[in-house]
Each structure stands twice: as structure tokens, then as C-alpha cells.
């Protein structure tokens, strides 16, 4: 026998996308120093989810993703971070993209 369908609220695509962004953000942060392949894959999927559903990751997570090559940015390994006059400059070593933040 089936249960009552009227009592359940269907999960929409936006809510599923929000859950996926949260999960991928956790995967990205956990695997940044140890497993760069998994972190790169999570970064690529985070960008694609954001473009498709309009759900953006947290700004703290976004700074670990290069928007040009869609790879993860690990300070000292795949990115160079400089602070000059209060401006944080992050350069992707793979593609050369420069990101500045005040």
C-alpha cells in the first residue's frame, strides 16, 4: 500500500540545488589540502550549479574557485596570494587569472 501523498511537500529544484551547493562546499573545503582532484571536481560542479539554478556558494567558498579554469585554488600550490595596501590579490597559477578584493 502506498502512503498519503497529500501530507508530503515535494522538494523543488531550488531546494535540491541549495543542498547540493552546501554538500559540494563541504567537499571542496575538506579536500583542498589533501585531494586536489576531488576539490577541482567539486569546484567545477559548484560553478555549473550556480549558473543553472542561480544558487551561489558562500563568498568564503567562492574565493577558493578560479572562475576561468574552473579549478580549486589552494594558496601556495595552485594560487598565489598577496596583500598590498589592504587589497588581497589572488592569482591562479594554472591560467593566470588575477582576482582582487578590498
Residue-wise pLDDT tens digits, 29-78 = 999 888 989 999 999 999 999 889 888 888 889 889 999 999 999 999 99
Q: Are 91 and 79 in contact (CB under 8 A)?
A: yes
Quote the CA–CA distance of 92 and 40 in Å, as a whole number.
13
Cα→Cα distances 87→61, 62, 72, 95, 96, Å: 18, 17, 21, 21, 18
pLDDT tens digits along 89-100: 999 999 999 999
Structural domain contains residue 2: no
Task: Give 6 or 81, the one with higher predicted confidence.
Answer: 81
Q: Give the pTM.
A: 0.79
Q: What does DSSP say about strands 87-92 and 79-84: parallel, antiparallel, or unpaired?
A: antiparallel
Ranges of H-type helices in 54-99: 59-62
Domain that holds residue 91: 13-101
* Cell numbers representing residue 75 in the block: 594558496
What one-character DSSP code corresponds to residue 56? P
* Cell numbers representing residue 9 in the block: 511537500
Structural domain contains residue 8: no
Predicted local confidence at residue 12, as pLDDT = 83
What is the tally of structural domains in the chain?
1
Amino acid at each position: 500500500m502506498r502512503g498519503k501523498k497529500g501530507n508530503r511537500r515535494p522538494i523543488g529544484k531550488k531546494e535540491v540545488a541549495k543542498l547540493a551547493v552546501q554538500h559540494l562546499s563541504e567537499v571542496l573545503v575538506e579536500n583542498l589540502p589533501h585531494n586536489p582532484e576531488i576539490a577541482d571536481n567539486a569546484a567545477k560542479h559548484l560553478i555549473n550549479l550556480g549558473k543553472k539554478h542561480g544558487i551561489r556558494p558562500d563568498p568564503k567558498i567562492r574565493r577558493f574557485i578560479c572562475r576561468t579554469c574552473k579549478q580549486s585554488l589552494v594558496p601556495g600550490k595552485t594560487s598565489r596570494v598577496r596583500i598590498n595596501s589592504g587589497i588581497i590579490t589572488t592569482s591562479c597559477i594554472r591560467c593566470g587569472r588575477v582576482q582582487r578584493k578590498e
